[in-house]
Structure formats: structure tokens, C-alpha cells
Structure 1
């Protein structure tokens, strides 16, 4: 079975998610750029984890 990878389900959301990622990285002091091969897994993971945390908090506020 072939893997689908990270396909974009809602193309209009891609730009917004990229802005959100860069904003979160900046808040954490992680220097994201077009190439992130020089970053550690911990740095990249901290950005993804913080993004999820923010999204969950926003969802809970809107309940």
C-alpha cells in the first residue's frame, strides 16, 4: 500500500498554517526558515507541540 504523505486537504489553509508555524517558532525562539535541516528533532517537535496546544486551547475557549 502506498503512503499518501502530507497531502493538503484544504489548500486555502496552507498559507495560514505556515504563518501560524512561523509565529509559534518565533515565540519559542526556534529559527525556522525554508530549510530546517540544521534544527534538532526537539526544536522542530517543540514547535509542532506548541501549535497543537494552542489549537486545543482555542477550541476549548470556543466550546
Structure 2
């Protein structure tokens, strides 16, 4: 566990940079700074909020019948 690298890959090719930017925007809005010196709860809450917003975005677009 300790020292392991994250092997998650975005489903959409080339989305890494946009997701990284989104992560820092969400953290800033939540008043948090990301980093190794923060708790898992703080860093994880940013990921949870990102997921919530992406699901909300998808639901709104699916409701309207448009493709994402």
C-alpha cells in the first residue's frame, strides 16, 4: 500500500490534464489544498465531490436527450 503508484487511467484518451485541472478547481472551491501532508479524508472528499458533479452532469445531459 504505502509507496504504491496510482494506476488508474481515464476512460477517455487525453482527459488526464482536464481531470487534474478539475480536481484542483474542486479542491479550491472546497477550501482544501491537496497533497501528501493532508488526510485521506480531505483528499478523498475532493474525489467524492468530483464524482458527484460528473454524475450530475451526465444525468442532466441524458435527461435532455443529448449525447455527452
Task: Give TM-score scaled by structure 1 length.
Answer: 0.78
Report how many residues are paired. 55
Q: Distance in 1 between matches of 2:61 and 2:9?
A: 28
Question: Of 1, 8, 12, which aligns to 1:6?
Answer: 8
Gapped regions of structure 2 (runs ≥ 5): 1-6, 63-68
* Structure with greater helix percent: 1
Task: Give TM-score scaled by structure 2 length.
Answer: 0.73
Gapped regions of structure 1 (runs ≥ 5): none
Q: CA RMSD in A?
A: 1.3
Q: Are residue 44 (structure 1) and residue 43 (structure 2) matched?
A: yes
Where does structure 1 differ by over 2 angstroms across 4 or more consecutive aligned residues? Answer: 5-9
